[in-house]
Structures are given as C-alpha cells and as structure tokens.
Structure 1
Amino acid sequence: MLRYFLENHLINISTEHPQNWEDAIRVSGEIMKSNNLVTDKYIDQVIADVKKYGPYIVIVPGVAMPHSQADSSGVLGTGIGLTIFPEAVSFDKDDSEKDAQLFFMLAAKDNKQHMENIANLSNMLMEDGLIEDLRKVRSLEDYRQVMDKYELSTKESR
C-alpha cells in the first residue's frame, strides 16, 4: 500500500507544522483536492465531525485517519491521501495519546469502498515498526527507503 501513495501522487511531506488540528486536516485535504477526490465541502465536514464527536480520527497514537460519511456530496472519488507533518499535532492538550503526525485522509463514494479503505489501511499500519519509520520521513527519498524496506519484509514473510 505504501507504493499506492507514491504512484498515485497522494503523498504530502509537509515541512511546516500546522497551527492546530483544524489546519492539519485542511493541509491533509489538499493532496486529496489536487487529485480531484474531494472538495472543500468534504474537508469542512471532517472538521465539523471532529468538533462534534471529538478526536475519533486519531486511531492510534501518532496516526490520524480524517474521514467523514461515504455519501458526502464533497466526495468526488475514492482514495487515501497521506500527509506527514514534521511533528505531532495535538487534538487534546491533556491527552498526548490524541496527538498525530501521520494523517491518512480517506474518501470513498460508497460504504463498501469506505470499509475496504479502512481495512487496507489498518492492515498496513499493523506492520511492526512502520508507524515509527513513517514518522521519521522528511523527504521523498526517506519515504522511498521506508517503502522499499517494508516491501522487502513483506516478500520475505511470504
């Protein structure tokens, strides 16, 4: 799945730290917008959902999965974008478990595709050491090295 982000131009390695989690979601949505997968309306809906339900999008410490309903009119296509920030972004100043540095924004045209995206992403993130390695990425070259490392380990484990 790491190759998917690179080959589909769905990776953004940010050099700037966002001011807050809302800005982080907006920045993570830019790669999706530039690939015609979502509109600003979808990004606004994701932010509204987090305000309403809390930081449910932080799925494990260090990793956020910004998403909203599959049937949102702001969704133009199905895909996942990855934005890596230089440092973690806080969703709750009293709970560092709700900090995220890796933002995997999901968009899907229907519930089936939405659930498939979540399952594929979850499987990838269970790979030992992957989250830590992705958090160290500062360039596309760094990303390629992580991608090569995990493609090799996946082949070796078969």
Structure 2
Amino acid sequence: MSEFTHMNQQGRAKMVDITDKTVSSRRAIARSSIIVLEEIYQKITNHKMGKGDVLAVAQVAGVMAAKQTSTIIPMCHPLALSGVNILFDWVSRDDGRWELVIDVEVKTKGSTGVEMEALTAASVTALTIYDMCKAVDKGMIIGQTYLLEKSGGKSGAFKRTTDNE
C-alpha cells in the first residue's frame, strides 16, 4: 500500500502537487445503474415521462457533472476533459423490474487521471434519472457505482474482471 499523498507535513489535507507529473492520455470508464418498475421503463422508453426525455436530460447532467467534479470533490484537480460519453443499456430482471446500466467514459490529456470524473458522472446520471421519475415511484434503487477500467498515468492500466470485486 502506498503512503497517503493527500496529507501535508502537519497531517492535514492538501491537494497533491502534479506539477512534475508527465502529461499523457488518460481514460476511465465507470458504471452505475438504477432499478425501476416496468411502468417507469415503459414511460422512459416510449418518451411518456411528464418531465421530458429522461435519458437525454440524464446524459447532459452526467456530462456536466464530469466537467464540474473538482468543484464538489475537494482534492480533485480541475481538468480540461477531451471527451465524455455516456451509454445506457436496459436489462430485464427476473423480478419484473428493469435495470438501466449506465457506462461513462471520460478522456483527457493531462497530468492526472479521470477516474473521479467518470465516477461522478455515472452517479449524477443515475441521480438525475431518479429525480425525473420519482413522481411515479420513489422506491427506485440506485445500484453500485464503480470503476470498470482506466488507462494512462504512472499507476498504469486497471481493468475490473467482475462486477463483484
């Protein structure tokens, strides 16, 4: 385990100095999900939700969240993102509900990674879907949010092998 780098000489929080880190292409993919009733699935897929196109709004919210990560996560560096892509995949569940899987890919060319931007975007995308659909059912479940893979930087590549690690 490496030593904590977000502590100063007095043991207090600090933002890591990335001045001398090598600039490289960085990429991260994060996943989240939300489990909804059949009624919500039908309303979203048939564009019948009263608040509008749920996935379009959630997608924009996710992109905005990726770009604003440093304003809500205290030790994150502001980054010039070169790309944010959000993909949705509906999965039918055995219990009659539907799970919307949300994958977010974030890219930059910089001195620090984009894992937090991808994770933040995935979380906000799921939260936005909840917000837009809560009038129909407040019992929706936002699933686990986790890093699927990352590349670039000193720590190298990471690729999750299962959803349960």
Q: Calculate the TM-score normalised by the size of structure 2.
A: 0.32
Rg larger in structure: 2
Q: TM-score, length-normalised on structure 1?
A: 0.33
Q: Which has the higher strand share?
A: 2
Query: Which structure dedicates a bigger proportion of its chain to helix?
Result: 1
Q: Which has the higher contact order (CA 8 A, sep 6+)?
A: 2
